[in-house]
Amino acid sequence: MSKILNVHQLGKTYSSGSKKLTVLDAISFEIEKGDTFAIVGPSGSGKTTLLGLCAGLDEADSGSIELCGTSINELSEDERALLRNKEVGFIFQDFQLLPTLTALENVSVPLELQGIKNAKTQAMELLHKVGLGDRSDHYPSQLSGGEQQRVALARAFINNPSILFADEPTGNLDEETGEKVIQLLFELNKEAGTTLVIVTHDLDLAKRTQHILRLKRGKIASNQSTVLST
Amino acid sequence: MKMQKEKMSNATTGWLFKMAWRDGRASGGRLILFMASIILGITALVSIQSFSDNLQENIRLQSKFLMGADFIIDSRQLPNERVQGIMDSLGGAEGMEVNFVSMASFPESNDSKFVRVRGVEGSFPLYGELETEPQKAATTYITKNGALVDATVMLQFDLEVGDVIKIGDTTLPITGILKSAPGNSGLASSVAPAVIVPYQIIDQTGLIQVGSRLDYNYYFRAPEGMDLDILDKELDPILDAEGADLDTHTSGSRQLGNSYGNVGKFLNLVAFIALLLGCVGIASSVQIYIKEKLRSVAVLKCLGASRKQTFLIYLIQIAGMGLLGGLIGTLAGVLLQLTFPSLLQEFLPFEIQLSLAPQPIVMGLLLGVLMSVLFALLPLMNTWYVSPLQVLRIQEAPEKRPKKARALVLLGILVFVFLFSLWLLQDWRYALGFVICIAVTFSILAGVATLFMKGIKRFFPSNWGFTSRQSLLNLFRPNNQTMVLLVAIGVGAFLISTLYFTKDMLVAMAQLENDGNSPNIILLDVQSEQKEAVAQSITPKGLPILDNIPIVTMRVHSIKGRAANDLRQDTTLTMNKWVLNHEFRVTYRDSMISSESLTEGEWVSETPKDGLIPVSIADNIARDAEVVVGDTIVFNVQGVLMETVVGNTRAVDWARMQPNFNIVFPKGVLENAPQFNVITTNAPNAKASAGLQRELVQKFPNISVLDLRQIVTLIENILDKIAWVINFMAFFSILTGIIVLIGAVRTSKYQRIKESVLLRTLGAKSKQIMQITALEYFYLGVLGSGIGILLSLISSQLLATFVFKTPFVPSPVPFLVLLPGITLLVLLIGLSNSRSVLNSPPLVVLRKEGS
Q: Can you tell me the distance from the alpha carbon of B33 to that of B28, in angstroms, rounded to the nearest whole number? A: 10
Label residue B384 by pLDDT band (50, 70, 90): confident
Mutation choice for A interface testing from B392, B395, B851 by most A CBs within 10 A:
B392
A:188-207 residues touching chain B, CB 8 A cutoff? none
**Predicted pLDDT of residue B3:** 43
Which span out of A208-217, B281-290, B464-473, B695-704 was modeled with the highest average pLDDT? Answer: A208-217
Could you say which of A82, A97, A99 has the minimum Cβ distance to residue B8? Answer: A82
pLDDT digits (tens, 9 = 90+) for B573-615: 788 777 887 888 899 999 888 778 889 999 988 888 888 899 9
**Predicted pLDDT of residue A206:** 92
Higher pLDDT, B757 or B767: B767
DSSP track, A158-224: TT--SEEEEESTTTTS-HHHHHHHHHHHHHHHHHHT-EEEEEES-HHHHTTSSEEEEEETTEEEEEE
Label residue A132 by pLDDT band (50, 70, 90): very high
Is there a contact between B303 and A77 if contact means CB atoms under 8 Å apart?
A: no
Return all residues near B392 (Cβ < 8 A) that are at least 6 apart.
A48, A51, A52, A57, A92, A167
Could you say which of A48, A97, A100 has the minimum Cβ distance to residue B27? Answer: A100
Calculate mean pLDDT across residues B374-379.
Answer: 86
Handedness of CA B272, B277, B278, B279 (dihedral sign): positive
Label residue B347 by pLDDT band (50, 70, 90): low
Do B696 and B104 contact (CB within 8 A), yes or no?
Answer: no
Q: How far is B397 from chain A (nearest CA, A)?
A: 9
B371: enclosing H helix or E strand = helix B358-385
Q: Return the residue of A nearest to B306 by Cα.
A: A78
Label residue B112 by pLDDT band (50, 70, 90): confident
**Predicted pLDDT of residue A124:** 95
Is there a contact between B18 and A112 if contact means CB atoms under 8 Å apart?
A: yes
A12 contacts on B by Cβ (under 8 Å): none
Task: Report the DSSP beta bridge partners of residue B705.
Answer: B523
**Predicted pLDDT of residue A108:** 92
Higher pLDDT, B566 or B711: B566
- Give the total residue count for chain A: 230
Task: Work out the percent of chain B whose per-residue pLDDT is above 90.
Answer: 14
Interface check for A109 against chain B (CB to CB < 8 A): the answer is yes
B312 contacts on A by Cβ (under 8 Å): none
Is there a contact between A100 and B296 if contact means CB atoms under 8 Å apart?
A: yes
Calculate mean pLDDT across residues B490-504.
Answer: 82
pLDDT digits (tens, 9 = 90+) for B618-659: 988 898 889 999 999 999 988 889 999 999 999 887 656 667
Answer yes or no: is pLDDT of B527 > 60: yes
Tell me the pLDDT of chain B averaged across its residues: 80
Answer yes or no: is pLDDT of B216 > 70: yes
Could you say which of A58, A86, A110 has the minimum Cβ distance to residue B389? Answer: A58
Q: Can you tell me the distance from the alpha carbon of B314 to that of A94, in angstroms, rounded to the nearest whole number? A: 24
Calculate mean pLDDT across residues A171-195.
Answer: 88
Answer yes or no: is pLDDT of A164 > 90: yes
**Predicted pLDDT of residue B510:** 53
B→A interface, C-beta within 8 Å: 1, 3-4, 6-12, 15, 18, 22-27, 295-296, 299-309, 387-389, 391-394, 397, 851
Q: Side chain identity at B532, as an amino acid letter?
A: E
Query: Chains A, B: CB contacts under 8 A, how many?
Result: 117
B387 contacts on A by Cβ (under 8 Å): 57-58
Tell me the pLDDT of chain A averaged across its residues: 89
Q: Can you tell me the distance from the alpha carbon of B174 to that of B145, in angstroms, rounded to the nearest whole number? A: 9
Please list the alpha-helical segments (H only) found in A27-174. 47-54, 77-87, 103-113, 119-129, 145-157
B388 contacts on A by Cβ (under 8 Å): 57, 81
pLDDT digits (tens, 9 = 90+) for B836-849: 667 766 666 655 55
For B43, half-sphere exposure in the C-beta direction (CA atoms, 13 angstrom radius) is: 22
Answer yes or no: is pLDDT of B261 > 60: no
Mutation choice for B interface testing from A13, A21, A85, A94 by most B CBs within 10 A:
A85
B6 contacts on A by Cβ (under 8 Å): 79, 82
**Predicted pLDDT of residue B4:** 41
Do A194 and A164 contact (CB within 8 A), yes or no?
Answer: yes
Answer yes or no: is pLDDT of B513 > 60: no
Could you say which of B3, B9, B851 has the minimum Cβ distance to residue A75? Answer: B3
**Predicted pLDDT of residue B851:** 43
**Predicted pLDDT of residue B164:** 92
Calculate mean pLDDT across residues B92-98.
Answer: 89
Q: How far is B398 from chain A (nearest CA, A)?
A: 13
Higher pLDDT, B752 or B396: B752
Q: Return the residue of A nearest to B22 by Cα.
A: A101
Q: How far is A97 from chain B (nearest CA, A)?
A: 8
pLDDT digits (tens, 9 = 90+) for A1-59: 588 999 999 999 887 667 888 889 999 999 999 999 999 999 888 898 899 899 888 88
A93 contacts on B by Cβ (under 8 Å): 393
Task: Work out the percent of chain B whose per-residue pLDDT is above 70.
Answer: 82
CA-closest candidate to residue B251, choices B101, B124, B128, B74: B74
Q: What angle do CA A9, A15, A19 make, to 5 degrees?
A: 105
Mutation choice for A interface testing from B3, B309, B311, B386 by most A CBs within 10 A:
B3
pLDDT digits (tens, 9 = 90+) for B399-410: 566 788 888 888
Q: How far is B404 from chain A (nearest CA, A)?
A: 21
Is there a contact between A81 and B3 if contact means CB atoms under 8 Å apart?
A: no
B300 contacts on A by Cβ (under 8 Å): 98, 109
A:119-158 residues touching chain B, CB 8 A cutoff? 139, 141, 155
Q: How far is A207 from chain B (nearest CA, A)?
A: 23
Which span out of B398-412, B448-462, B711-725 was modeled with the highest average pLDDT? Answer: B448-462
Higher pLDDT, A17 or A188: A188
Q: What angle do CA B272, B277, B282 make, to 5 degrees?
A: 125
Is there a contact between B307 and A77 if contact means CB atoms under 8 Å apart?
A: yes
A78 contacts on B by Cβ (under 8 Å): 7-8, 306-308
Q: Return the residue of A nearest to B296 by Cα.
A: A98
Q: Can you tell me the distance from the alpha carbon of B86 to that of B266, in angstroms, rounded to the nearest whole number? A: 43
Is there a contact between B3 and A112 if contact means CB atoms under 8 Å apart?
A: no
B397 contacts on A by Cβ (under 8 Å): 15
Label residue B371 by pLDDT band (50, 70, 90): confident
DSSP B762: T
Please list the alpha-helical segments (H only) found in B242-357. 249-258, 261-302, 307-337, 340-344
pLDDT digits (tens, 9 = 90+) for A77-122: 888 888 998 899 999 888 889 988 999 999 999 998 888 888 899 9
Q: Can you tell me the distance from the alpha carbon of B648 to that of B195, in angstroms, rounded to the nearest whole number? A: 43
Domains present along chain A, CATH in parentheses: 3-225 (3.40.50.300)
Could you say which of B4, B15, B397 has the minimum Cβ distance to residue A79? Answer: B4
CB atoms near residue A14 (< 10 Å): 14
pLDDT digits (tens, 9 = 90+) for B718-760: 556 655 665 666 666 666 667 766 766 666 666 667 677 777 7
CA-closest candidate to residue B748, choices B848, B818, B834, B820: B834
